[in-house]
């Protein structure tokens, strides 16, 4: 779960990591109240989770309070990459001497957390890594001993800092580690971490992605997520509520399957045959009929969907349950959109019988079914 910039900065502040003076505003009154407390020049930043917010016009600058109010007003009426701006973060611009990068994420191969730091910051870390690989410092955190102040000092030294600056970075790095651990962050980064013209350090932007699987330990964010404050499509919100893994894509073939790998391979196969998937939807393992019906309803509620592909390889999931779910959904939604069903595995015969009796044709080969649905999406159903 991606946190908003203001949420991330509030967390950093809690861990005594300096951030620019600033605050959140959702309307004009709040904007006015805020700007009187802040010293221009100011930055006004749309609180949206889309990548490339800056380039998409989501960050404005103002040299006066009046200008800042105008900028905030403008942003609060705008959409950034299709997402309505509900709040803006207004903060004092800082005097940049140098932009650094410091982040902590997971290292799959080493089964641990890893610090990535660089004396080049302000762009995506992947970009830094490809442009100036020699400036990337990687520090693997030993899960037994954790990340200590002295590790922070070692990194600060490798970044070329000494004296008070080294001690200041020590506190910031160590604080970020604790914040990351306490909030179950799968990614926590300061980018840029700015060295100011007077030699201080300020986290000018911060990003935190909380491990979805750990949200049970962070009820405040779980609630925020469920309240729909984040930027989910209606389908995504409905899927989340029903514990279905759904991702909206650009095409017109609705896809439902069991197991993330199988669904991904289904999308790939559709694409291989020239079709365009409208979504990813994994019903997970052992889904009962009602859950499958919900999945169908979600996918069919997307107006872009022209045809539906249900691809089930029954292991824990029972084909008869899937068949019943399909009929249930059909009855409730009353859809006339064409469906291609591929159903093999546990209780396959019973599933096929149920569907065949309802005049729904069932295929056995994934490839064949994919070809069929692509055809339909292009030229219409039979």
Give the separation between CA 346 and CA 93, rounded to whole angstroms: 61
Q: Are 187 and 209 spatial neighbours (Cβ–Cβ below 8 Å)?
A: yes
If the CB atoms of residues 143 and 228 are measured against another protein, the closer one turns out to be: 143
Task: Kindly give the interhelix angle for 319-333 and 289-300, rounded to the nearest 10 degrees.
Answer: 50
Catalytic residue among 5, 69, 170, 189, which? 189
Minimum gap (Å) between residue 111 Cβ and another protein: 4
User: Min. distance of Cβ 285 from another protein in angstroms?
Assistant: 7
Tell the smallest beta-carbon distance from residue 234 to another protein (Å): 17
Least distance CB 190 / another protein (angstroms): 17
**CA atoms of 189 and 207, how far apart (whole Å):** 5
Measured from the CB atom, is 30 or 167 closer to another protein? 167
Query: Are the beta carbons of 201 and 230 closer than 8 angstroms?
Result: no
User: At its nearest, how many Å lie between another protein and the CB of residue 109?
Assistant: 6
Of 129 and 226, the one with the shorter C-beta distance to another protein is: 129
Indicate the SS3 state at residue 198.
coil
101 is catalytic: yes
Phi-psi region of 377 (alpha: psi -120 to 50; beta: other; left: phi over 0): alpha
Query: Which residue's entry shows tokens 């600060």?
Result: 156
62 or 152: CB nearest another protein: 152
DSSP reduced 3-state for 349? helix
**Helical pair 234-241 and 219-226, crossing angle rounded to 10 deg:** 130
177 is catalytic: no
CA atoms of 13 and 214, how far apart (whole Å): 22
Q: List the structure tokens of 365.
A: 């080969």
Residue 16's SS3 state is coil
In whole angstroms, how close is the CB of 156 to another protein at the nearest point? 8
Residue 109 or 379: which CB sits closer to another protein?
109
Within 13 Å, how many C-alpha atoms sit on residue 324's CB side?
A: 12
DSSP state, residue 315:
S
Q: How many contiguous H segments (helices) and E segments (strands) does the chain have?
A: 13, 18
Nearer to another protein, 162 or 359 (CB): 162
7, 91, 101, 113: the active-site residue:
101
Active site residues: 101, 189
């Amino acid at each position: 779960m991606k946190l908003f910039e203001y949420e991330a900065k509030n967390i950093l502040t809690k861990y005594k990591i300096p951030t620019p003076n600033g605050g959140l505003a959702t309307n004009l009154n709040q904007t006015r109240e805020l700007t009187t407390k802040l010293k221009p020049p100011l930055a006004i930043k749309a609180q949206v989770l889309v990548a490339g917010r800056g380039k998409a016009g989501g960050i404005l600058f103002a040299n006066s309070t009046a200008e800042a109010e105008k900028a905030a007003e403008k942003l609060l009426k705008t959409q950034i990459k299709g997402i309505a701006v509900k709040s803006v973060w207004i903060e004092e611009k800082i005097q940049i001497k140098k932009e650094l990068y410091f982040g902590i994420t997971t290292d799959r191969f080493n089964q641990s957390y890893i610090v990535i730091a660089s004396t080049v910051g302000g762009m995506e870390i992947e970009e830094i890594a490809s442009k100036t690989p020699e400036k990337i410092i990687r520090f693997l955190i030993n899960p037994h001993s954790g990340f200590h102040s002295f590790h922070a000092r070692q990194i600060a030294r490798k970044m070329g800092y000494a004296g008070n600056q080294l001690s200041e970075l020590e506190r910031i790095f160590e604080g970020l580690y604790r914040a990351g651990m306490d909030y179950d962050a799968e990614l926590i980064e300061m980018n840029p971490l700015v060295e100011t013209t007077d030699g201080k350090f300020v986290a000018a932007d911060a990003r935190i992605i909380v491990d979805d699987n750990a949200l049970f330990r962070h009820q405040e964010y779980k609630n925020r997520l469920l309240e729909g404050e984040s930027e989910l499509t209606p389908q995504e919100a409905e899927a989340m509520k029903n514990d279905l893994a759904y991702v909206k894509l650009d095409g017109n073939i609705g896809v439902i399957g069991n197991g993330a790998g199988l669904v991904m391979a289904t999308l790939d196969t559709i694409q291989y045959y020239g079709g365009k998937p409208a979504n990813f939807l994994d019903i997970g393992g052992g889904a009962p009929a009602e859950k499958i019906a919900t999945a169908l309803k979600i996918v069919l509620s997307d107006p872009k969907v022209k045809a539906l592909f249900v691809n089930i390889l029954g292991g824990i999931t029972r084909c008869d349950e899937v068949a019943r779910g399909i009929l249930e959904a059909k009855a409730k939604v009353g859809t006339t959109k064409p469906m291609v069903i591929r159903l093999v595995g546990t209780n396959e015969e019973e599933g096929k019988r149920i569907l065949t009796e309802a005049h729904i044709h069932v295929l056995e080969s994934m490839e064949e079914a994919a070809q069929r649905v692509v055809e339909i999406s292009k030229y219409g159903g039979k």
